[in-house]
Amino acid sequence: MEIKIKKIDGEEHEYIEIGCHSENSRVKAIVKFVKGLEGSVTGSKGEKIYEIPIVDIFYIESVDNRTFIYSSKDSYETSLKLYEFEDLLKERGFIRISKSVVVNVMKVDSIKPAFNGRFLCKLNNGEDVIISRKYVSEFREFISRRSGS
């Protein structure tokens, strides 16, 4: 496999592109490795333990004292508490949006109004999560401060 490295202008976003005939296990291993460089967390699904790349996490939810990590299609249970994730991932674009949910802002597609001063985050995988009244101003401040508006 030939490896090409192209220098791009400082204004452009950095990216990695793989040219392949099919998305086989080798390609998947490379993608997993690159995502792993961005950090990962451990979660379990059934008997199996998985390393979930942080960039793949959509949101983390606490249900009945158990914590679940949601990716595009899968969910994993984890031993960490929600507040620990909140601390751990606050510099990685994750923010608490309700008593039980921490969302990855990079995975939010749009925001719509919901009942009673709440808002609905439409995620890229089609799921919806609610921003509760208490966390609306914090969420607004988080994205407006970091977007520079």
- In the set 98, 102, 123, 129, which binds other proteins (CB under 8 A)? 98
What minimum distance in Å lies between the beta carbon of 34 and other proteins?
15
Instruction: Pick between residue 80 and residue 143 the one whose CB is nearest to other proteins.
Output: 143
Residue 90 phi/psi, 5-degree rounding, is -65, -25
Measured distance CA(88)–CA(4) in Å, rounded? 34
Q: Which residue has the tokens 């985050």?
A: 121
What minimum distance in Å lies between the beta carbon of 94 and other proteins?
12
Measured distance CA(107)–CA(58) in Å, rounded? 6
58 binds other proteins (CB under 8 A): no
31 binds other proteins (CB under 8 A): no
Site for other proteins in 4-23 (CB under 8 A): 13
90 binds other proteins (CB under 8 A): no
Number of residues interacting with other proteins: please give it, by CB under 8 A. Answer: 30
Binding site for other proteins (CB under 8 A): 13, 93, 98-99, 105-106, 108, 110-113, 115-119, 130, 132-134, 136-137, 139-140, 143-144, 146-149
